[in-house]
Amino acid sequence: MKSNRKAAEQPEQANSGRAPLSQDPHAVREPKENNLEMAIGHEVRAYRKKLGITVTDLAAATGISLGMLSKIENGNISPSLTTLQSLSRALGVPLTAFFRRYEEPRNAVFVKAGQGIELERRGTRAGHQYNLLGHIDNNTSGVIVEPYLITLTADSDTFPTFQHEGMEFLYMLEGVVVYRHGDQLFQMEPGDSLFFDADAPHGPEQLVKLPSKYLSIITYPQRSSKG
């Protein structure tokens, strides 16, 4: 059997012309509001001051009373869509600009050691354990992420082969496994990783050293719940 240890290799020079990763993982966004009315009020005031006009000027341009504008800018009232449309036209900004600082609640999943949800996947059998470490549906990223901790404790002559949409990332924690992706074989040892297109047939080909344990992180597009 011929194995291929490519996971830790550096990208070839031929790939150096590709654009770098576009997102800075350490970037910090400007502070946002978790109250919608306060977020809208902040933006209305900021855009008005940017134009150098007074509340009186904005009231004259929109037909909204001074008292109403004061309440909007201070986050004391929830303006109607018609009012926001009038403000967007007067301030020369899109309607969506007023919601820029609003921070919707974001979900997080914390799993204590040994408390992941044990699942049965196709090919699961004695000695092959799959623990789902977290799942957030309907998130804002547009993708679904399924992180698994996979433990292999029993040898066998046959192994499950998987093929599904999305991308998959493996990180070896313990043991040694020869892992197949398409027609390639990768001998994975602790610290090795493998990142691949999951549409190709893949799965453990040979269990060299047991017990074996690795992380499997699967990502795929989030499906719309509409229609």
> Which pLDDT tens digit goes with each residue over 38-57?
889 999 999 999 999 999 99
pLDDT for 165: 92
Q: Which structure tokens are listed for 42?
A: 């902040």
Cα(105)–Cα(108) distance, integer angstroms: 10
The sign one gets for the Cα dihedral 179, 109, 37, 42 is negative
pLDDT for 47: 93
More confident residue, 216 or 21: 216
Q: Is 189 in contact with 176 (CB distance < 8 Å)?
A: yes
What is the full DSSP assignment across 110-165?
A: ---TT-SEEE--TT--TTEEEEE-----S-SSSEEEEEEEEEE-S--S----B--S
SS3 206: strand
Closest C-alpha to 114, from 90, 93, 136, 131: 131
Pairing of strands 184-188, 167-181: antiparallel
Q: Is 211 in contact with 151 (CB distance < 8 Å)?
A: yes
Q: What is the mean pLDDT of residues 149-154?
A: 87
Closest C-alpha to 216, from 195, 200, 185: 195
pLDDT for 20: 60
Q: Is 153 in contact with 207 (CB distance < 8 Å)?
A: no
pLDDT for 87: 95
Q: Say yes or no to pLDDT of 8 above 50.
A: no
Q: What is the mean pLDDT of residues 91-99?
A: 89
Q: What is the mean pLDDT of residues 66-94?
A: 93
Q: Say yes or no to pLDDT of 23 above 80.
A: no
Pairing of strands 128-132, 143-152: antiparallel
pLDDT for 126: 52
Q: Given pLDDT bands bounded at 50, 70 and 90, which one contains residue 13?
A: very low
Q: Which structure tokens are listed for 161?
A: 């082969």
Q: Say yes or no to pLDDT of 219 above 60.
A: yes
More confident residue, 79 or 153: 79
Indicate the DSSP class of residue 45: H
